[in-house]
Amino acid sequence: MDRRARNDRGQHGTLHAKCVVVDAERLFVSSANMTEFALVLNIELGVLLKGGDAPSQVERHLTELIRTGVLQPLRKPAGG
């Protein structure tokens, strides 16, 4: 039974975690957006993993999503 709260249209919220991988050795997974406001002022929760399989697995997964076009690199706007 789904016990999540729903709005008046029957929709429920979702978790959309953010992550940063560094050199396939460190993985930071958090509820926070990677902005100063989110990291300094909001109440967020994250975990930093050093070593093990998770950092390299996530890096490979993200690389594959980019390779297949599911994710697109973010480019700076001209003049920005």
pLDDT tens string 4-56: 678 899 887 776 789 999 999 999 999 888 888 877 888 888 999 999 999 99
Q: How confident is the model at residue 74 (pLDDT cuts 50, 70, 90)?
A: confident
| pTM reported for the whole predicted model | 0.66
Q: Distance between CA atoms of 80 and 67, rounded to whole angstroms?
A: 26
The pLDDT of residue 3 is 66
Give me 71's structure tokens.
């994710």
Q: What is the pLDDT of residue 26?
A: 98
Q: Residue 41: its pLDDT value, please? A: 86
Per-residue pLDDT at 37:
83
Q: How far apart are CA 20 and CA 12, in angstroms?
A: 26
Question: d(Cα 20, Cα 17) in Å, to the nearest integer?
Answer: 10
Give the whole-angstrom CA distance, residue 33 versus residue 61: 20
